[in-house]
């Protein structure tokens, strides 16, 4: 009887609310992810998280069987909204309809529309499925094989006979992948890749075995008390990421509240082509009881490193000066560093979670060992870097929801006594105002090889800071967000010969006129102290540098088949006793969607005085790739991306892009140098579903 009344209530009151609001047909991942990655200033590979969202669109999360980690990885819901979801289910039972989400406290229509493409009510009870695992794998509709080929049409210097240490392989890059998976049941993945310049042959002496990179995993989910087990390549996201982070470090951006904290997602299959920062071995999450879970992991793999040879025997490695993280093996010198360092990782994570899922406390231990010691090159700013064969980390993390506040944090220690701590809270002061406050302190001698918690530095050490985020949404049409981050570096840094400090401020106003038209204006300023570059009696002068970024963006659609994006962004950079430099970019995109055929184009004009004013902007690419290139110099950037669907199983993509520079006849430098003022790239991809 209770379910009957709920069904009537949903039909009469909730269904009309959502139905009349134009439920989106599909996920606009480009807009969604650009908000998450708005302020990234590096050409970083985000393909892994981008691909995860695409996978969820194809195979949405079944809400009635969802766990906390499933909802956390969407970066859409706050912990309080997630807690309210489970409290509603505990009181009322399974959801009867997707429209019932409106009945959950603090689940407003804007949040529901964002989450709809990634979730579903339909569920499959695999414990009652009599088919074998192999039968379920074969029957899965989202299995596919993918092949990608790309190259630069111009000849780079490394492919000529001019340099002494040229590229050994062909100028094309090739990638192949086999993927078979189903949410909360299984995942089977195998990937191979060859970068441009890497040889494609078999030579054991040169450590060449066909493709340069091989990666794969097999994962099972929810088999009794075994919640997850992964064999092969994987990552682990624990607490706030001080000891282990899965790479989803969204950092500071236009989403000023939800992305500043990490979610404890546990073990995750690794599916990127990045050839470092992952673990290879076995990991398992076991449910000890209703409230306790334990995750154990073991990893053993080889890594690239720069060796230092002993004086007695020039071929015998004495120690390593650094670990190489490029993934390139194109020349003889790059191949000489391949797989020299052996790394062994083991440890565990124990988590207690309350019945209401509002409180979580976890303990983590991790040990990392190398076959040879690592001794970095002696530089003043490297004085506290890790040295030796073995490092160990121990940490505690927590998350607690109290009314409208979500408190979270983590504190971790390394073997040498260094420590890092981050603590903060997110709060909904009303249904219109959200705030976040985070403080962190990472000592200069804190060593963690796979941590990536919130901060200004690329590694969690030598930093003290405080972040304040703000979001004001007076209605569905207007939104104002801002953050202020103050930081200090107690020890030296690269290009900074003294302790330094700085701050960063960002504000953005967005106006949504309709479902198809919106504009926003964003301003970001960052001040950091660094070397002036003028030496006096061998002492470098430290002065503040200031960089301002401005961006105006307009998105609009014409009918259902044509959409456009117009953007202008500019910046200026100045340092005391130095000249002020500037840069700008004008960008126009046109996108055409004809069902089975899609065409995306861009025309961009850019002019920057120096590298400090390089302009980063997202651009569309073939499926499962995410591109944020840098516009540097003076010239034009254009591309055309074509996608065609053939039947129900076959898709292909083709992208042609061009950089045309003015007032320069050489592009890039070193082995990547191109003679001329034009750089053309082509990329072709085919996917077959089975």
DSSP string of 530-572? EEEEEEETTEEEEEEEEEEEEEEEEEEEETTTEEEEEEEEEEE
Pairwise CA distance, residues 349 & 606, whole Å: 49
| Beta pairing, strands 539-558 & 517-536 | antiparallel
**What's residue 115's pLDDT?**
84
What is the dihedral sign for C-alpha 148, 152, 158, 161? positive
Query: Quick check: 536 and 530 in contact, CB under 8 A?
Result: no
Residue 544 in this model has a pLDDT that exceeds 80: yes
205-223 average pLDDT score:
88
Give the confidence band of 535 by pLDDT, cuts at 50, 70, 90: low
Paired tokens of 104: 């959950």
SS3 623: coil
Contacts of 237 (CB under 8 A, 6+ apart): 244, 245, 246, 248, 262, 263, 264, 265, 266, 268
**Of 31-45, 406-420, 470-484, 620-634, the least confident:** 31-45
How far apart, in whole angstroms, are the C-alpha atoms of residue 85 and residue 107?
Answer: 9
Q: What is the arithmetic mean of pLDDT over 135-161?
A: 91
Tokens for 483? Answer: 């953050």
Q: What mean pLDDT is predicted for residues 5-11? A: 44
Question: pLDDT band at 206, cuts 50/70/90?
Answer: confident
Residue 91 pLDDT class (50, 70, 90 cuts)? confident
Q: Are 84 and 103 in contact (CB under 8 A)?
A: no
3-state secondary structure labels for all residues of 10-38: HHHHHHHHHHCCCCCCCCCHHHHHHHHCC
Tokens encoding 219: 């994962």
**Of 205-219, 456-470, 531-545, 598-612, which gets the smallest average pLDDT?**
531-545
pLDDT digits (tens, 9 = 90+) for 364-389: 999 999 999 999 988 889 999 999 99
Top-confidence range, 243-252, 461-470, 663-672: 461-470
Contact 624, 50 (CB under 8 A): yes
Query: The tokens of 613 are what?
Result: 């004013």
**Structure tokens that stand for 308 in this block:** 């230092």
What six digits make up the tokens of 41? 């200033």
In Å, how far from its chain's centre is CA 478? Answer: 28
26 vs 340: CA distance, rounded Å: 47
Query: Residue 539: what pLDDT?
Result: 61
Please report where in the chains the tokens 């504000």 appear, as a residue. 507
Q: What pLDDT score does 311 carry?
A: 57
Query: What is the Cα Rg of the chain in Å?
Result: 26
> Nearest to residue 666, comparing CAs of 658, 656, 657, 676?
676
- Report the distance separating Cα 78 and Cα 358, nearest Å: 12
Decide: 240 and 422 in contact? Cβ < 8 Å: yes
Report the sign of the C-alpha dihedral through residues 32, 34, 39, 42, in that order. positive
Give the span between the Cα atoms of 374 and 551, in whole angstroms: 44
Residue 606's Cβ-side half-sphere holds a number of Cα atoms within 13 Å equal to 30
3-state secondary structure of 327: coil
* Chain centroid, CA 263 distance in Å: 13
pLDDT over threshold 70, residue 36 = no
Mean pLDDT of 269-274: 84
Exposed/middle/buried for 508, CB within 10 Å: 0-12, 13-18, 19+?
buried
Rounded distance between C-alpha atoms, residue 375 and residue 390, angstroms: 12
Please say if the pLDDT value at position 622 is more than 70: yes
Distance CA 600, CA 468 (A): 38
For Cα atoms 326, 328, 333, give the angle at the middle one, nearest 5 degrees: 105
Distances (CA, A) of 149 to 172, 195, 422, 589, 655: 7, 10, 43, 24, 11
Which residues, including other chains, have CB under 8 Å from residue 556's CB and lie 6 or more apart?
Answer: 516, 517, 518, 563, 564, 565
CB 328 within 8 Å of CB 341 = no
- Phi and psi at 475, nearest 5°, equal -160, -175
Residue from 250, 261, 251 nearest 79 by CA: 261
Helix (H, G, I), strand (E, B) or coil at 437: strand
Separation CA 442–CA 59 (nearest Å): 39
Distance of alpha carbon 418 from alpha carbon 447, whole angstroms = 7
Asked whether 470 and 482 are in contact (CB, 8 A), the reply is yes
Tokens encoding 521:
């204006």
Q: What is the mean pLDDT of the chain?
A: 86
**Strands 61-62 and 119-120, sheet pairing:** parallel
> What residues have CB less than 8 Å from 433, skipping those under 6 apart?
470, 471, 472, 473
Q: Is 8 helix (H, G, I), strand (E, B) or coil?
A: helix
Q: What is the mean pLDDT of residues 578-582?
A: 87
Report the run of H or E that residue 658 belongs to, with start and end: strand 650-661
Query: What integer is the mean pLDDT of 331-342?
Result: 91
Q: Count the neighbouring beta carbons within 10 Å of the beta carbon of residue 112.
A: 20
Q: Do 662 and 634 contact (CB within 8 A), yes or no?
A: yes
Q: What is the pLDDT of residue 169?
A: 93
Residue 600 near residue 627 (C-beta atoms within 8 A): no
Instruction: Flag whether pLDDT at 13 surpasses 70.
Output: no
List, in sequence order, every residue forming a beta bridge with 151; answer none if it has no partner: 172, 682
Alpha carbon distances (Å) from 383 to 320, 451, 593: 16, 20, 56
State the average pLDDT over residues 258-266: 84
DSSP string, 287-332: E-SSSEEEEEEEEEEEE-EEEEE-SS-TTSEEEEEEE--S----SH
Model pLDDT, residue 515: 76
């Amino acid at each position: 009887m209770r379910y009957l009344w709920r069904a009537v209530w949903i039909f009469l009151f909730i269904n009309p609310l959502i139905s009349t609001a134009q439920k989106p047909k599909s996920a606009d991942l480009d807009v969604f992810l650009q908000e998450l990655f708005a302020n990234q200033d590096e050409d970083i590979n985000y393909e892994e998280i981008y691909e995860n969202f695409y996978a969820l669109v194809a195979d949405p999360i079944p809400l009635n069987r969802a766990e906390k980690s499933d909802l956390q990885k969407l970066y859409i819901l706050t912990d309080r909204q997630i807690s309210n979801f489970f409290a509603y289910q505990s009181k009322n039972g399974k959801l009867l309809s997707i429209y019932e989400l409106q009945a959950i406290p603090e689940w407003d229509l804007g949040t529901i529309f964002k989450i709809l493409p990634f979730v579903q009510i339909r569920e499959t009870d695999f414990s009652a499925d009599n088919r074998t695992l192999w039968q379920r794998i074969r029957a899965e509709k989202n299995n596919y094989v993918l092949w990608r080929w790309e190259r630069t049409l111009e000849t780079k210097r490394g492919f000529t006979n001019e340099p002494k240490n040229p590229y050994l392989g062909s100028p094309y890059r090739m990638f192949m992948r086999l993927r078979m998976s189903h949410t909360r049941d299984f995942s089977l993945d195998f990937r191979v890749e060859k970068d441009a310049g890497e040889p494609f042959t078999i030579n054991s002496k040169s450590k060449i075995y066909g493709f340069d990179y091989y990666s794969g995993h097999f994962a099972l989910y929810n088999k009794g008390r075994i919640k997850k087990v992964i064999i092969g390549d994987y990552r682990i996201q624990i607490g706030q990421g001080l000891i282990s982070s899965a790479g989803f470090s969204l950092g500071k951006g236009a989403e000023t509240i939800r992305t500043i904290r990490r979610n404890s997602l546990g073990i995750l299959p690794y599916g990127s082509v990045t050839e470092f920062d992952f673990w290879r071995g076995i990991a398992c999450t076991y449910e000890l009881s209703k409230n306790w879970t334990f995750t154990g992991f073991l990893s053993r793999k080889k890594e690239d490193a720069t060796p230092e040879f002993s004086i007695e025997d020039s071929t015998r490695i004495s120690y390593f000066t650094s670990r190489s993280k490029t993934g390139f093996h194109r020349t003889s010198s790059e191949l000489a560093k391949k797989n020299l360092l052996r790394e062994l990782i083991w440890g565990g994570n124990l988590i207690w979670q309350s019945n209401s899922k509002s409180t979580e406390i976890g303990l983590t231990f991790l040990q990392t060992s190398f076959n040879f010691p690592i001794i970095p090159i002696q530089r003043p700013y490297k004085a506290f870097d890790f040295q030796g064969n073995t490092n160990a980390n121990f940490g505690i993390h927590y998350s607690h929801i109290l009314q409208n506040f979500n408190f979270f944090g983590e504190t971790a220690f390394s073997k040498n006594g260094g420590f890092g701590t981050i603590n903060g809270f997110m709060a909904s002061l009303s249904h219109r105002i959200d705030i976040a406050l985070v403080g962190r302190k990472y000592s200069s001698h804190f060593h963690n090889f796979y941590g990536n918690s919130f901060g200004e530095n690329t590694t969690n050490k030598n930093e003290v800071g405080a972040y304040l985020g703000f979001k004001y949404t007076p209605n569905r049409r207007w939104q104002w967000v801002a953050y202020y981050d103050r930081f200090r570096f107690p020890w030296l840094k690269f290009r900074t010969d003294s302790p330094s400090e700085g701050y960063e401020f960002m504000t953005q106003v967005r106006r949504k006129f309709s479902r198809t038209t919106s504009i926003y204006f964003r301003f970001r300023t960052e001040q950091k102290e660094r070397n002036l570059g003028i030496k006096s009696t061998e002492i470098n002068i430290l002065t503040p540098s200031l960089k301002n970024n401005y961006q105006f963006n307009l998105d609009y659609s014409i009918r259902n088949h044509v959409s456009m994006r117009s953007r202008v962004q500019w910046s200026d950079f100045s340092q005391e006793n130095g000249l002020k430099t500037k840069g700008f970019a004008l960008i126009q995109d046109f996108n055409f969607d004809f069902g089975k055929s899609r065409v995306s184009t861009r025309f961009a004009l850019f002019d920057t005085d120096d590298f400090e004013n390089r302009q980063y902007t997202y651009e569309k690419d073939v499926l499962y790739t995410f591109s944020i290139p840098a516009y540097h110099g003076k010239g034009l950037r254009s591309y055309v991306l074509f996608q065609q669907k053939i039947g129900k199983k076959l898709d292909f993509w083709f992208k042609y892009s061009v950089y045309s520079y003015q007032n320069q006849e050489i592009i890039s430098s070193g082995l990547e140098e191109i003679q001329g003022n034009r750089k053309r790239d082509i990329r072709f991809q085919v996917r077959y579903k089975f």
